[in-house]
Amino acid sequence: MIDAGLPPRLERIGNKLNGPNTLGNSRAFWLAFAVGMVVMAAYPLIRGSYAAGQFSLFLAYGLLALSLSLIWGYTGILSFGQVAFFGIAGYTYAIVSLNLGGPLGQTVALPVAVAAATLSAFVLGYFMFYGGVQDVYVAILTLVVTLVLETFMAQTAGSEWSIGTVALGGFNGIPGIRNFALGVEGASLTLSGSGFYWFVLGVLLLAYLGARVLVNSKYGYALVAIREDAERTAMLGYNVKKVKLAVFTLSGALAGFGGVLYATWGNYMDPSVFSLVFATIPIVWVTLGGRESLLGAIVGTIIIERLRLWFSVNASEFAIVFVGVILMTTVLLLPRGILPGIRDTYVFFSEHGVREGLERGRVTVQTRIRTLLQSVGVDVSEPETPPSSEVVRE
């Protein structure tokens, strides 16, 4: 909770943003968040327009991560299909904006593209949730839909696959998408470099704050209840299917917005956005950062994408191996992700003090290593039974 001493209006907003479903509700957190935002906003001034342009891709991906965190982390529905909505919006934006042309065309294309992603999510979600598809089957179906979309887009090389004047282009995709622009002919605003960066940062900030308000609202409580036990939530009188469909649709819209930003960032769309590897990447971001933490999802995205960029320059063939290793080690060793992990560590040490905390940590690590060794058949004789200790969670 934000302490007293703030103007009542700010306090009201604060109360909506804070709650049990988000990490970081303290004044210290918001102070650090504000400092972080100032640093992020100053990034283009420090590193220049080109670096900012590069970085804005990560922020656009942040929207995709946020959408997955909402649907998976908060509602417990693992969707491999976020990239499908991301890609559908990107493709739609390309087709509409290139057909209409000019800044007005682009302005129209934005809502159309987001609507296309939203509608796709709604239709798929309707069939799944109202069809009683649950758990792993949702994951499988969304994955299959994504893979089928890839197959479809990859075979659209022929000239018969054109919408208006725009050819879908098969594997090569659609080139020549213009930089993000809003407005009408003569009075338009085209964004690139630093401008685009600030725009995406603003969109991501709004989406993040909006998602915080959502998950800390009554609706957000229903989402978490569904994640924890869908049947019991239904018993309590919630329309589980409807809530699931609504969140799925919303997260499709968010992913779609990210897709539009992606298309204008790279100035092209190709079927690789529907590929198996790209479908996994958002899951890696969110797993690493902490799926039950909205900020964690964004932080995870930035970390992974920085590293992927490094790999693609220095050791491109190992990039995917690295992604796989990160995914496996995070789930096995840090199942809740980095940000919740940091929070847990903080809580742990502030409860036990540094010295006792370190001792307990040492024992925990020893026990874990011993079980790991035993599981692969190495016999580790135990001198005495170590006291069982678990990381204390808040």
**Residues contributing to the site for other proteins (CB under 8 A):** 78, 127, 130-133, 135-137, 139-141, 143-145, 147-148, 151-152, 155, 276-277, 280, 283-284, 287, 317-318, 320-321, 323-328, 331-332, 335, 372, 375-377
The dihedrals phi and psi of 226, each to the nearest 5 degrees, come to -65, -40
Q: Which is nearer to other proteins, 44 or 81 (CB)?
A: 81
Q: Which two tokens stand for residue 120?
A: 């796709």
Q: Which is nearer to other proteins, 228 or 359 (CB)?
A: 228
DSSP letters for 227-272 = HH-HHHHHHTT--HHHHHHHHHHHHHHHHHHHHHHHHHHHS-B-GG
Q: CB of residue 219 vs other proteins: minimum separation in angstroms?
A: 23
Q: CB of residue 369 vs other proteins: minimum separation in angstroms?
A: 13
Q: Which two tokens stand for residue 161?
A: 């696959």
Q: CB of residue 358 vs other proteins: minimum separation in angstroms?
A: 25
Q: CB of residue 231 vs other proteins: minimum separation in angstroms?
A: 14
Q: CB of residue 149 vs other proteins: minimum separation in angstroms?
A: 10
Q: Which is nearer to other proteins, 130 or 346 (CB)?
A: 130
Q: Which is nearer to other proteins, 325 or 380 (CB)?
A: 325
Own/partner pairs for 115-118, CB < 8 Å, 24+ apart? 116/88, 116/89, 116/92, 116/256, 117/85, 117/86, 117/88, 117/89, 117/92, 117/252, 117/253, 117/255, 117/256, 117/257, 117/259, 118/85, 118/249, 118/252, 118/253, 118/256
Q: Which is nearer to other proteins, 182 or 327 (CB)?
A: 327
Q: Which is nearer to other proteins, 133 or 205 (CB)?
A: 133
CA distance 155 to 107: 29
Q: CB of residue 327 vs other proteins: minimum separation in angstroms?
A: 3
